[in-house]
Chains A and B, each alone.
Chain A
Amino acid sequence: MGDKTDVWQGTLALMILKTLETMGPQHGYGLARRIEQTSGDLLQLNYGTLYPALLKLEQEGYVRSQWGTSDNNRKAKFYELTKAGQKQVRRATADWEQTTEILSRFLSPAEEA
């Protein structure tokens, strides 16, 4: 791997984890909507890509899922963060902030000696 989708996969995973952290347990559709909204509708998200990503996070032990009922009284599968997931959010956030910070130094160069 190591191509564009991988980066995308990585960021998507972080988006999912962060959303779950702020919103608590959420089903796939809700997550998709929320991610779109948070991005200020700048992100054209194919909702379907969410499910393999969720499965991967589940296999890695960062999220767990169980069936529940939605606000509209509909049966849906809810995803929530595990302990390992919470740790991963912190770690990934720190990593990402560092990456963007480094990149931003390149993109907006300040006058330096």
Chain B
Amino acid sequence: MSSFSAKMRAFLVRLRQSVRRRGNASEFDEELESHIAMHTEAGIAAGLNEEEARRQALMKLGGAEQVRQARRERTSLVWLENLLQDLRYGMRTLMRAPGFALTAIATVGLGIGACTAIFSLVNAVLIRSLPYGDAERLVYLFTPNPNLKIPAEVICPAYGDYFDIRRESKSYESMSNFEQAMFSLNERGTNQRIGSARVDEDFFHTLEAQPDLGRAINSDDVQAGREKVAVISHALWMSMFGGRPDVLQKSLVLNKNSYRIVGVMPAEFEYPLGSDMPYGNSEIKSTQIWVPLVLTPQQRAAREPNNNETIARLRPGVTVRGAEAEMTGIMARLDKEYAGDPNGELGPIRQWGALIRRFTDMSIGPVRPLMRLLLAAVGLVLLIACGNAANLLLARAAERARELGVRTALGAGRGRIVRQLLTESMLIGAAGCGLGVGLAYLFLRLLPKLDPGNIPRLNEATLDWRVLLVAVGAALFTSLVSGLLPAWRASRVEPTEFLKSHGAQGDSRGHSRVQSGLIVAQTAMVVVLLAASGLLIRSYVKVVNVDTGFSHSTVTFNVNLDERYSKPEQQVSFFRQLTAKLNALPGVNAAGAVNNLPLTNSESITLMWVEGSRNTEFQQAEARYVTPQYFSAMGISLIAGRYLTEDDYVRKAGVTVINKRLADLYFPHQNPIGARISTNREADGWKDFNTVIGVVGDVRHVSLEEEAQPQMYYGNYQMNGGSVAVRTTLPSSVISNEIRSTLKAIDPQLAMTDIRTMGDLVSLASARRRFQTSLLTAFAGIALALALVGLYGLMAFSVNRRTREVGIRMALGAERGDVLMLILRNAGVLVGAGLVMGLACAWMVTRVMRSFLFGVSAHDPATVISVSALMIVCGLIAVVVPAKRAASIEPMQALRTE
């Protein structure tokens, strides 16, 4: 009947009344009095005596007190008043027991903080949408070759094939080809290497990204002979141009060429990021500059894959499988139509296949298991925190049993008591939530320092609404889980029973079965976490101690030659001079150059033929060009024969050095020295054989965690760019200065980049592992601390309640040692049960972690033993204080206390 606004108005009036609690009860009393008086007067006028008239007036009214009550209920929101009352009361009780309150809040806060922090990470990496439109429809196109023993997701279609696929296929809305490039950006005289990409006119369109300012790269830009233009990232716009709008009239100097800036991308667009492509340029963490990909007619017709990348957007409704089937058809036809390069690595028969992978699987796919692992870990931490809070509240409820009993006896409803206790746990949850969000914020500040560099969008983790929602959800969950059990138990107190017993303890252990159960469960969960982190730590130690085959202290740097060094003899002369000068430096033991350093994601694979051996088709080896001192500079050990010498270069002797793996595989029972190997196929009439002069140790080139492949080294000074390894006794600052001045003396225009030790490269290669290990270990540590606080709390509480019992035992002749043992045994049973349960769970759970392990079994006995020992020792420490306190109880004193 009444309209919504009237109802709303009434609600607000009542709300204000509830909060203010300033009743106008006396005014209503007056109104009621006047009502009764008028009614009485009317009665008297009708001939009744005054007393009878008043009695009838009151009767007709329905009782003054009932009316007052009915009106009071209408005045304000009763439930709200009750809630506020509960809150005030809860606040007061918590304040009266600050130790309890702070422990509970810290516990809950840690749990919620861990959850919120990890969720913010998961949110950034897995949940938040990517800035590429509907990212689920983005796919990479690859052309794997069955004869290349490299991952299938390395090679994208050759340009010629790309244009054929683009013309013939119907699966894609749009397709783009691009190449990653490292440009040297000149900014006020200093050169800076900057991640860039050469992109075609469909690049931005395919990724559904529009520049904030200016325009994207269009089909005119990619024609030969046009003005050089560039689109820059938001970050570069900010750092180089201070975010000024006149940037569109400015130019950039890249590799000595001037590029006019035509567009600025939004802040979130820095595609491709290092993590967006499985085998992209490992130097490029994010892309700051996009320039047109200008192809010559020859390039456009090329049928040999280049180092381009192909990304496409599927039409809505087209599946990856459907698109792949279509591409397979096209590639099969192209393979028939075109012959392979007879002198190429892969022989005269073209065999480029078709493979389509979802962009999200490529970029996010590899970290999904890690995110799940971390979520599971913080889930356990939260549960342990819940268990702790529940135990604290149970202990509190037991201490307050008397108070609650009295309140029940005085008529407090069961529901009201449950609500009161739940309000208290909600208060703890709310404070814990605040603390947790604060901790998560700190974690996010710390995160960039932990960044392993290959987790996509890790740096974009923030506390957004989703994360806060999870924090609040976790707090609510904790409050309910930890509050319901104690509340339910407390509400079952029978007032008469309770008052009779004076609140004495019924349980001889001093604590309830529920409390013990919680401790056992907590211990079990901690054991699972400890076992998991133990396995990760063992794996990590194995990884960093793996024999990489090179010395970690070797200093390396990159140097790239520019167009002035186009002739081979110029390159040879440059590297010969550079290595000679470096080797002549005092304090330098050896310096040698190589085209690709280990662990830098760059590899050149060659096919080879071993003379006189049982060769098979497509035998592969990793090939490297090195200068004579490279082996000694890198500390690569010599197993047989000799290293390369300057003489080999001068004489242009056809010699090669192989690694142990190659020797073991192809020369199992014979001396490889003197054997001859060819890497020049020349359409299967293998030629240009090289003689093996030495066997060196295996070097982990691709990854720390993969066994070395067969490797071959050729002596060569001719490289248009490469890395130089320097073995020195000089401190790093001195040697980098020496290198700089040496380089300057040869060519002042060249700069060295990426100066770092091989140890730094190892550290980079193990960063992801370090990240996951340290996070999981931190959580296991937090969980352990929480569980120990819980155990300590329970034991202290239990000793407190058993003071009288201990007193009696001692009065009856028990020794202090017996009392100590009694408490220790009590705690030992709990920890032991938890340990056994935990190990059983860990046995099952760690199996799913197999992909995270390296060199240890999921049931590694050393881990099991050390986790058990750690748990027992920590458990003992937590229990010793309460146990000693029990043992120091004075019997007389104890018996006197009530």
B48 part of interface (Cβ distance < 8 Å): no
Which A residues are CB-close (under 8 A) to B74?
Answer: 52, 55-56, 59
Complex contact A48–B1 (CB within 8 A): no
Return the contact of A46 from the options B7, B38, B60, B71 (Cβ within 8 A): B60
A72 part of interface (Cβ distance < 8 Å): yes
> Across the two chains, which residue of chain A brings its CB closest to B39?
A29
B638 part of interface (Cβ distance < 8 Å): no
Complex contact A27–B6 (CB within 8 A): no
Return the contact of B38 from the options A29, A56, A59 (Cβ within 8 A): A29
Complex contact A74–B37 (CB within 8 A): yes
Complex contact B71–A52 (CB within 8 A): yes
Return the contact of B62 from the options A29, A30, A47, A92 (Cβ within 8 A): A47
User: With A and B bound together, what is the CA distance between A78 and B31 in angstroms?
Assistant: 10
Return the contact of B75 from the options A46, A48, A55 (Cβ within 8 A): A55
Which B residues are CB-close (under 8 A) to A41?
Answer: none
Are A48 and B10 CB-contacts (below 8 A) given A56-B74, A72-B41, A95-B1?
no
Complex contact A61–B6 (CB within 8 A): yes
Q: Which of A46, A59, A84 gathers most chain B CB within 10 Å? A: A59
Per-residue B-contact encoding for A67-98, CB less than 8 Å = 1, 0 else: 00010101111000000100010011001000
Which A residues are CB-close (under 8 A) to B7?
Answer: 60
Q: Could you tell me the distance in whole angstroms from the C-beta of A43 to the nearest C-beta in chain B? A: 13
Complex contact A49–B62 (CB within 8 A): yes
Complex contact A61–B71 (CB within 8 A): no
Complex contact B35–A28 (CB within 8 A): yes
> Across the two chains, which residue of chain B brings its CB closest to A55?
B74
Return the contact of B10 from the options A30, A56, A92 (Cβ within 8 A): A56
Return the contact of A59 from the options B9, B31, B34 (Cβ within 8 A): B9
Q: Could you tell me the distance in whole angstroms from the C-beta of A53 to the nearest C-beta in chain B? A: 8
- B1-49 interface with A by 8 A CB criterion: 1-3, 6-7, 9-10, 13-14, 28, 30-32, 34-35, 37-39, 41-42
Complex contact A48–B66 (CB within 8 A): yes
B580 part of interface (Cβ distance < 8 Å): no
Which A residues are CB-close (under 8 A) to B13?
Answer: 59
User: With A and B bound together, what is the CA distance between A92 and B1 in angstroms?
Assistant: 6
Which A residues are CB-close (under 8 A) to B64?
Answer: 48
The DSSP consensus for interface residues of chain B is helix
Number of interface residues of A (CB under 8 A): 31
Which A residues are CB-close (under 8 A) to B37?
Answer: 74
Complex contact A76–B6 (CB within 8 A): no
Complex contact A84–B6 (CB within 8 A): yes
User: With A and B bound together, what is the CA distance between A42 and B237 in angstroms?
Assistant: 86
Complex contact B73–A48 (CB within 8 A): no
Complex contact B14–A14 (CB within 8 A): no
> Across the two chains, which residue of chain A brings its CB closest to B8?
A60
The DSSP consensus for interface residues of chain A is helix
Complex contact A47–B75 (CB within 8 A): no
B61 part of interface (Cβ distance < 8 Å): yes
User: With A and B bound together, what is the CA distance between A90 and B14 in angstroms?
Assistant: 26
B267 part of interface (Cβ distance < 8 Å): no
Which A residues are CB-close (under 8 A) to B34?
Answer: 27, 29, 70, 74-77
Q: Which of B3, B13, B34, B42 gathers most chain A CB within 10 Å? A: B34
A10 part of interface (Cβ distance < 8 Å): yes
User: With A and B bound together, what is the CA distance between A49 and B61 in angstroms?
Assistant: 8
Which A residues are CB-close (under 8 A) to B62?
Answer: 46-49
Complex contact B6–A60 (CB within 8 A): yes
User: With A and B bound together, what is the CA distance between A89 and B442 in angstroms?
Assistant: 61
Which B residues are CB-close (under 8 A) to A61?
Answer: 6, 9-10
Which A residues are CB-close (under 8 A) to B2?
Answer: 13, 60, 62, 88, 92
Which A residues are CB-close (under 8 A) to B3?
Answer: 88, 91
Complex contact A70–B38 (CB within 8 A): yes
Which B residues are CB-close (under 8 A) to A84?
Answer: 6
Which B residues are CB-close (under 8 A) to A76?
Answer: 31, 34-35, 38
Are A62 and B31 CB-contacts (below 8 A) given A48-B67, A52-B73, A52-B74?
no
Return the contact of B67 from the options A33, A51, A77 (Cβ within 8 A): A51
Complex contact A46–B61 (CB within 8 A): yes
Q: Could you tell me the distance in whole angstroms from the C-beta of A70 to the nearest C-beta in chain B? A: 7
Q: Could you tell me the distance in whole angstroms from the C-beta of B407 to the nearest C-beta in chain A? A: 30
> Across the two chains, which residue of chain A brings its CB closest to B2?
A60
Q: Could you tell me the distance in whole angstroms from the C-beta of A83 to the nearest C-beta in chain B? A: 12
Complex contact A55–B6 (CB within 8 A): no
User: With A and B bound together, what is the CA distance between A60 and B66 in angstroms?
Assistant: 23
B342 part of interface (Cβ distance < 8 Å): no
> Across the two chains, which residue of chain B brings its CB closest to A56?
B74
Q: Could you tell me the distance in whole angstroms from the C-beta of B534 to the nearest C-beta in chain A? A: 60
Complex contact A77–B73 (CB within 8 A): no
Q: Could you tell me the distance in whole angstroms from the C-beta of A71 to the nearest C-beta in chain B? A: 9
> Across the two chains, which residue of chain A brings its CB closest to B9?
A61
User: With A and B bound together, what is the CA distance between A70 and B35 in angstroms?
Assistant: 11
User: With A and B bound together, what is the CA distance between A59 and B35 in angstroms?
Assistant: 21
Return the contact of A55 from the options B38, B60, B71 (Cβ within 8 A): B71
User: With A and B bound together, what is the CA distance between A101 and B60 in angstroms?
Assistant: 33
B70 part of interface (Cβ distance < 8 Å): yes
Q: Could you tell me the distance in whole angstroms from the C-beta of B19 to the nearest C-beta in chain A? A: 15
Which B residues are CB-close (under 8 A) to A13?
Answer: 1-2
B473 part of interface (Cβ distance < 8 Å): no
User: With A and B bound together, what is the CA distance between A16 and B22 in angstroms?
Assistant: 27
User: With A and B bound together, what is the CA distance between A56 and B6 in angstroms?
Assistant: 10
Complex contact B1–A49 (CB within 8 A): no
Return the contact of A49 from the options B6, B10, B41, B70 (Cβ within 8 A): B70
B63 part of interface (Cβ distance < 8 Å): yes
> Across the two chains, which residue of chain B brings its CB closest to A46?
B62
Which B residues are CB-close (under 8 A) to A10?
Answer: 1
Complex contact A52–B70 (CB within 8 A): yes
Which B residues are CB-close (under 8 A) to A91?
Answer: 1, 3
User: With A and B bound together, what is the CA distance between A95 and B71 in angstroms?
Assistant: 27
Chain B interface (Cβ < 8 Å from any Cβ of A): 1-3, 6-7, 9-10, 13-14, 28, 30-32, 34-35, 37-39, 41-42, 60-64, 66-67, 70-71, 73-75
Chain A interface (Cβ < 8 Å from any Cβ of B): 10, 13-14, 27-30, 33, 46-49, 51-52, 55-56, 59-62, 70, 72, 74-77, 84, 88, 91-92, 95
7 other A-B residue contacts (CB within 8 Å) besides A28-B31, A70-B34: A47-B35, A51-B32, A59-B74, A62-B6, A74-B41, A76-B35, A84-B6
Q: 27 interchain pairs (CB within 8 A)? A: A10-B1, A27-B34, A28-B31, A28-B35, A29-B35, A29-B39, A46-B60, A47-B60, A48-B63, A48-B67, A51-B32, A52-B70, A52-B74, A56-B74, A59-B9, A59-B10, A61-B9, A62-B6, A74-B34, A76-B31, A77-B31, A77-B34, A88-B2, A91-B1, A91-B3, A92-B2, A95-B1
Closest 10 pairs (CB-CB, A-B): A48-B67, A59-B10, A48-B62, A60-B6, A46-B62, A52-B74, A59-B13, A29-B38, A60-B10, A48-B61
